[in-house]
Amino acid sequence: MMATTDRVDAATEKKKATEAVLELQDVSVLYSGKPAVKKVSCTIWRNRITSIIGPSGCGKSTLLRSLNRMNDFVDGVTIEGSIQFAGQNLYGSDVDPVEVRRRIGMVFQKPNPFPKSIYNNISWGPGINGYSGSMDELVERSLQQAALWDEVKDRLKDSALNLSGGQQQRLCIARALAMEPQVLLMDEPCSALDPISTAHIEDLLFELQSRYTIVIVTHNMQQAARVSDYTAFMEMGHLVEFGETDQIFTRPEKKRTEEYVTGRFG
């Protein structure tokens, strides 16, 4: 635990001043009028990993899904407040949600590869978006970024469903990376994986943060402490505390945060 904190300290020391990628201002998400996320305001910084923690049902996944408009597909959902991304409100009337999702990728809780070949899993997204470069190179690059290339390079034409759970999840990450998104949202990406696969993915996150901005929802506090630069603690739809990860875990300002991160509830 001590070692982990040291590493996070060093990491935050190394890179201080950054620019905002997503700015949330009083964001509320309501399902059929019932609020699931209540007036959340915070900033997601470029090339940083931000984790969202909190007990089940606190609204962390809902908040994450509002960042790339995946909540649009839920019946009866309304969103209040504003989320600024590249100078525009994501929920502005002139914003095309398809374009939002193209720029802000997502990895889901359970690996969900398409029932297609490994190659086609990666190439489909760029294909429909009119990618004009060399598809073979893009596939290789994406798989390499997701640390999967060496394991699958000889069987790209095989079905993705034959991969193990951990490999499938890295394939899903590669698939998202192939779109070259600005932000990568991850919704408990390790919750369906064994510890070794989880370690793989966490290592991967360190590799990726130099190029991408990552927001990760996790119910595993150790994971949040290990991988993230910033941590948001949510409870009952409220953002209780937001700050640098080592501060949240070692010197939380709010009593509820302290109780949660020390395992007294949740």
Partner 1 sequence: MAFLDEQGQKNLAGRHRKARLFSLLCALVTWSSVLMLLVLLIRITMDGIGWLDLHFLTSFPSRFPEKAGLKSALVGTLWVILLVAVVSIPVGVSAALYLEEFSKRGRLGTLIEVNIANLAGVPSIVYGILGLAIFVRFFALERSLISGALTMSLLILPVIIIASREAIKTVPMSIRYAALSLGATRWQTTWHHVLPSAFPGIMTGVILALSRAIGETAPLILIGAASFVAFLPKNLMDSFTALPIQIFSWASRPQVEFQHLAAAGIIVLLAVLLLMNATAIYIRNKTEKRLK
Contacts to partner 1 by CB under 8 A: 68, 70, 73, 75, 98-99, 101-103, 105-106, 108, 110, 112-115, 124-125, 128-129, 159, 161, 172, 175-176, 179
Q: Which is nearer to partner 1, 87 or 115 (CB)?
A: 115
CA–CA gap between residue 151 and residue 156 (Å, rounded): 10
CB 36 to partner 1: min, Å: 18
Q: Which is nearer to partner 1, 68 or 197 (CB)?
A: 68
**Token match 């931000």: residue?**
50
Q: Which is nearer to partner 1, 73 or 265 (CB)?
A: 73
**Beta strands 88-89; 77-85: pairing state:** antiparallel
Q: Pull the structure tokens for residue 74.
A: 């839920």
CA–CA gap between residue 131 and residue 14 (Å, rounded): 35
CB 75 to partner 1: min, Å: 6
CB 154 to partner 1: min, Å: 20
Q: Which is nearer to partner 1, 45 or 114 (CB)?
A: 114
Q: Which is nearer to partner 1, 58 or 172 (CB)?
A: 172
CB 34 to partner 1: min, Å: 18
Q: How many CB atoms lie within 10 A of CB 40?
A: 23
Residue of 26, 24, 32 whose CA lies nearest to 71: 32
CB 51 to partner 1: min, Å: 19
Q: Is 95 helix (H, G, I), strand (E, B) or coil?
A: coil
Residue of 94, 102, 26 whose CA lies nearest to 63: 26
